[in-house]
Amino acid sequence: MKRVGLVAHDLKKPALVAWCQTHRDVLAQQQLYATGTTGAAIMAATGLSITLLKSGPLGGDAQLGAMIVEGQLDALIFFQDPLTAMPHDVDVKALTRLATLYNVLFAVNTATADAVLAAI
């Protein structure tokens, strides 16, 4: 069982929910963590058991980052919206930096998420 973080920007939440629906059986075998709004949407659509953190702008991105630093996250699936400015862009960059620095499996779209899921 791997520990997987799930987060998506607002316009990418439907894509992450759809991806989770497609991969529900594999994800159900993992320990899942998600930022609040993203996790609630995934749970409603899939019935997956997810530990909900704060909403991204309210500290959920930072909570996922702390989990990475503490070695408590094996993979991060973060569907990012590259075309929309984010008011909490500093948090997004910090989370991306930590995933890179700590060599955590990291996906930003469906293609890379499929590869990460295959690796765990």
Residue 82 pLDDT = 83
- Active-site residue numbers? 61
Q: How far apart are the first and last CA of the chain?
A: 8
Spell out a b/e string for 30-39, using b for 16 or more CB atoms within 10 Å of the CB, else e: bebbbbbbbb
Residue 89 identity (one-letter amino acid): D
Rounded Cα gap, residues 58 and 54, in angstroms: 6
CB contact at 8 A, 70 and 89: no
pTM above threshold 0.85: yes
CATH label of the domain that carries residue 113: 3.40.50.1380
> Count of domains in the chain?
1
Over residues 110-119, mean pLDDT: 96
Residue 33: DSSP 8-state? E
List, for residues 34-59, the tens digit of each pLDDT value: 999 999 999 999 999 999 999 988 89
| Stronger pLDDT, 84 or 48, i.e. the higher one | 48
Q: Above 90 in pLDDT, residue 89? A: no
Q: Residue 77: helix, strand or coil by DSSP? A: strand
* Structural domain harbouring 49: 3-119
Residue 88 pLDDT = 67
